[in-house]
Chains A and B, each alone.
Chain A
Amino acid sequence: MDNVPKHVAASAAAVAIPARARSAKPDDRELVMQAQKGVSAAFEQLVMRHQQRVIAVVGGILRRREDVEDVAQQVFLKAYVSIRRFDMRSAFSTWLYKIAVNECWDYLRKKKVRPLNYESDLSEEQARHVEQFVSNNAEADSPDERAELREIVERLLSDLADDDRTMLILKEAQGFAVEEIGKMMGLNVNTVKVRLFRARRRLATNYRRRISHSVGEGRKSGGSELR
């Protein structure tokens, strides 16, 4: 405790959180107000409450799994530093996820990670696998199957703009409302809707094209083997 700054140590004691708040599980707003006063215990509660969603958001945007927790920690650090400037006009979660999205884009820019341009088509086995998955005959239950499916979908998403890809993942995989996505990305709701619609159609078009190509190639090679 010697190394811990005085105000942090003081705030770590739950004394700073009102008794009412402790007994009735304080909402985000109360915790934010405490955190704005420098109570780091309140901020720790906010971290525990939102860590899973932040990691999911970051994990959806970043391609390298090993970077996810590091960037998620950075998101909370930034939130802690700028929480005094948070004016409560939006929900804390929206504000936090906006930081998460921006942090991911900054990270990708700094690392100069460009969307991978997968020119190669899916293997016949991959094509069959994903086709079965889409037609509801199979589920990607195991981590390995999920990883494979993710790799395939990454290929299909590779020609989408980064923010379209992010929107799509936030909407479909994370279940964010269009309004929330708009706030996070600084776009109006109609723009989000239109871009989401186009991104979805593009993904489906890519899917059809890759599947038909891979299946066609498979048939060709199968045919030549038979001959």
Chain B
Amino acid sequence: MIPGPKANKDCKKLEPFLDDYLRGELPRATADRLASHLETCGNCREALEDLRISAKLVTGAFEERGEPSPGFARLVMARINTAEQWVQQQTSFWRPIEALSLRLVFSAALALIFLFAYGLRVRNAPVVTAPEPSGIFVQQTEAFQPTSFSPSPSNNDEVLMAIAERHHEQH
């Protein structure tokens, strides 16, 4: 809704219409109301003039029809072909390495699977145990009681004394 001629406070609302007004793209009724507002509003007239100036400047300076050089499309396609060839070369260089590494990965995976399976089998296999001694309940004190043995002589005197004792016992 275009504000009336004296509605200067509402000029902000007019901003979106100014460009279309300048280009003659507003519906007749809206354009008429805007025109009557512009007659009394200096701010909007200045804004409209700014739009006109900027349109004129930018259009004049940049509205160059971008004429491509002859054969531009061919150049683009040649560049695309070059890029594709490069990609193919790169791919063909890396392909054997890729294949080899794939094989390696596959072999390693197989080896891991076998190892894992073997580990599982070993773990689940029944454990073969040695026959238990019948006297398992024998008290430790008994089991570890020192057996009687004669201490071996540690020097010549003791040897002599032992022989003498044995000789004496025999008689």
A residues with CB within 8 A of B: 3-5, 8, 40, 43-44, 47-48, 51-60, 68-69, 72-73, 76-77, 80-81, 130, 133-134, 136, 139-140, 146, 149-150, 152-154, 156, 168-169, 172-174, 193-194, 196-197, 199-201, 203-205, 207
Contacts and interface: CB of A to CB of B under 8 A. Distances in A.
Contact of B67 (A3, A52, A81, A173): A52
Contacts of B60: 133, 139-140, 146, 149, 153
Given A133-B56, A203-B58, A204-B50, 10 more contacts: A47-B76, A52-B67, A59-B64, A73-B72, A146-B61, A172-B55, A172-B58, A172-B63, A173-B62, A200-B51
Contacts of B61: 140, 146, 149-150, 152-154, 173
B62 A169 contact: yes
Contacts of A152: 61
28 contacts: A5-B84, A40-B80, A44-B73, A47-B72, A47-B73, A51-B73, A52-B66, A55-B66, A55-B67, A58-B66, A59-B66, A73-B72, A133-B56, A146-B61, A149-B57, A149-B61, A153-B58, A172-B59, A173-B63, A194-B15, A197-B19, A199-B54, A200-B51, A200-B55, A203-B50, A204-B53, A204-B54, A207-B53
Interface residues on B, range: 35 or more
Contacts of A153: 57-58, 60-62
A52 B64 CA distance: 10
A76 B76 contact: yes
Contacts of A140: 60-61
Nearest to A51: B68
B33 interface: no
Interface in B35-62: 47, 49-51, 53-62
Q: Is the interface of B mostly helix, strand, loop or mixed?
A: helix
Nearest to B55: A172
